[in-house]
Amino acid sequence: MYELLFNLVLRRIDAERIHHLAMRVLRVVQAVPGLSALLRRLYAPQGPTARALGLEFPGPLGLAAGFDKNALVYEALGGLGFGHVEIGTVTGEAQPGNRRRRLFRLPADRALINRMSFNNRGAAAAVPRLRRPRHVIVGVNIGKTKAVPEERATADYVKSTRLLAPLADYLVVNVSSPNTPGLRNLQAVEHLRPLLKAVLEAKGATPLLVKIAPDLADEDVDAVADLALELGLDGIIATNTTIRRDGLVSGPALSAEIGGLSGAPVKRRSVEVLKRLKARTGDRLTLISVGGVETADDVRERLAAGATLVQAYTAMIYGGPLWAHRINRELARRS
């Protein structure tokens, strides 16, 4: 039914407009007393749980950052079958992001291109929403405010950390989005080490992970893994969106759009990075795999390759609101 609705109606409407409509619906769901709880009873993961970051996750599949940027609807999203929800990316200061249009579907490739650039209301605005009682594990993904110069990036991350880490089940330092100028430069170890040290000092007891890009060279993946072990981070999320456009079948009117590409085309490199991280770190870090996850077999592949948890986002856009529930049901059937 959703596939028919998508093909006949939704794909003809601007992707960001549909996102805002979905957010409004989810806010209504979350506002109705008992409705999120009812959804959790109907669609909660039924398969194996996952132990990571000192927490018991009801299932290995979570929603990646990017959908709920302002911590508005994580309870409703948890009711759709996600074992955890990562909110953000949140920045130290509120910012509107890039000018529209900035979100593009590539149905032929089962992919998205976005150049949103961390549009969000800022860390302070997320605080009261994260203080609400909740029934879903919530990670908080933080990034650099676009207007903040690179030399002041650490202070910007620390500001978000002090506000949000006490309210997060885990915290993610995002240095891998392609849509904030200079951000990916922070993945270089000489820049990443002082940044992560400062965040570690500010975060308290909250588990800390770093999110990396699929476009890193193998030796740079190794360097980040070694740094994470050196500093005592809790984990790595691999991977973010890519700036590469290899093998796309969508026409140049779409594939030439600037921004980060997510979805099926990222799968191969995401798995490669996961396996490399696992070989480098063994069982000393929690690895969360994201990028091109569409099926229950994809989830199994990531878990077998060394991931403790798996995330997705683009697949829900093409699979509909109950996509996670269907994946969980398949995982339970064959567990």
Binding-site sequence positions: 65-69, 89, 141, 174, 179, 211, 239-241, 263, 292, 313-314
Other beta carbons within 10 Å of 16: 16
Query: Binding site membership for FMN: which residues?
Result: 65-69, 89, 141, 174, 211, 239, 263, 292, 313-314
**What is the sign of the dihedral through the CA atoms of 278, 280, 285 and 290?**
negative
Written as one string, the DSSP assignment of 190-224 is: HHHHHHHHHHHHHSTTS-EEEEE-TTS-HHHHHHH
The answer to whether 176 is a known catalytic residue is no
**How do 137-143 and 84-91 pair as beta strands?**
parallel
Phi, psi angle pair for 332, to nearest 5°: -65, -35
- CB-based contacts of 300, cutoff 8 Å, min separation 6: 331
Which of the residues 36, 160, 176, 177 is marked catalytic? 177
Asked if residue 250 lies in contact with residue 106, where contact means CB atoms within 8 angstroms, the answer is yes
CB crowding 122-156: b at 16 or more within 10 Å, else e: bbeebeebbeeebebbbbbbbbbbbebeeeebbeb
Query: Binding site membership for substrate: which residues?
Result: 69, 174, 179, 240-241
The rounded distance, in Å, linking the Cα atoms of 203 and 69 is: 20
Catalytic residue numbers read 177
